[in-house]
Amino acid sequence: MAFETSKDVLDWYEKQERTLTDEFIDSIPWSEVRSTPLDDRLIPVLLYMRDVEVLTEMYHRELRRTPTGRDPVIAKFMERWGVEEVTHGQIIDRFLNEAGHRTPEDWQRQTHRGVPVSYHTSTYLLTSLTNLLGSCFTATHMAFGAIHEMSTGQAYRRMKDIAAHPVLSTILDGIIREEAAHTHFYRSVARIELAKCKAAQKVARKVVDTFWRPVGQGSLAKERTEYCIAMLFGDETGEGVDVLDRTVTKRAHQLPGFEGLDKTTHRFRDICRRLYPITTAASLLFSIDLYAVV
Ligand SMILES: [Fe+2]
Ligand SMILES: [Fe+2]
């Protein structure tokens, strides 16, 4: 589907119905969660996914200070995007509790409070600087977002395959559908904006080459990010990283100005080589919490 303007993309997005409605959530066989065992090493990954999702509220707040925050089309998309991502975090938290991994009631507040001050300071500076980029920032933000959404979608797919848990699969299928719609929005608007001028392509590429980090790193501890990547994409043959390369990096190459991007694949491969295999003992470090229930 080829769109001519970002408004066309928004119109398409608004026609997509939500998957994770209240009815969908109520129809999940929650009582069957404990019937299938869950690999303990996946707990820290689910906690990480949950935290990244609910921190979208914070990312959304930061983005409102940038040129795209003042773009009525993108701002409208971000309103719904922000709500959908938070639902993803909340449903993952419910799954964890149903599976027997109790989390504190105020876990959302604790997740927000755990973000380091250094993150807030550098983000404030960066979002202020985006105003210097003007319209080039739209292309940059959309390209950045497309890469983040694509890698998030792949992380959920890997989680589904590795966990092989029927109830979690139902939940993840719903999340993956919504992530796919986000990806389509970001990629489509990125294509339109990048095609407008070479300067936008150069700026976007430079920003991604310089600042791209896996989703959540920075607002959450780097060790947690790396644990998740090694757990989801690490294996003996390197096949997991090859999948990431095909489904994220190679797709990003299709964006104008992004030919030959290799930072994403290199970063994932480096982490997997260093940390694979993940042991149950290593997983304890990240699952005992964080926010211990007392
Ligand atoms: Fe999400
Ligand atoms: Fe998303």
Residue with tokens 């707040």: 61
The CATH superfamily holding the domain 7-16+36-101+127-287 is Ribonucleotide Reductase, subunit A (1.10.620.20)
The CA 76 to ligand 2 mean position distance, Å, reads 15
Domain locations along the chain:
7-16+36-101+127-287
Closest-lying ligand to the alpha carbon of 146?
2
Q: What is the pLDDT along the chain (294 residues), one digit of tens a residue?
A: 789 999 999 999 999 999 999 999 999 999 999 999 999 999 999 999 999 999 999 999 999 999 999 999 999 999 999 999 999 999 999 999 999 999 999 999 999 999 999 999 999 988 888 988 887 899 999 999 999 999 999 999 999 999 999 999 999 999 999 999 999 999 999 999 999 999 999 999 999 999 999 999 999 999 999 999 999 999 999 999 999 999 999 999 999 999 999 999 999 999 999 999 998 888 887 876 554 443
Its pTM stands at 0.96
Burial environment of residue 294 by CB neighbours within 10 A (0 to 12, 13 to 18, 19 or more): exposed
The CA 78 to ligand 2 mean position distance, Å, reads 10
The CA 294 to ligand 2 mean position distance, Å, reads 32
Closest-lying ligand to the alpha carbon of 88?
1
The CA 281 to ligand 2 mean position distance, Å, reads 31
Distance of CA 90 to the CA centre of its chain: 15
∠ CA 91-62-200, nearest 5°, is 110
Torsion over CA: 112, 118, 123, 124 (sign): positive
Gap between the Cα atoms of 92 and 71, Å rounded: 31
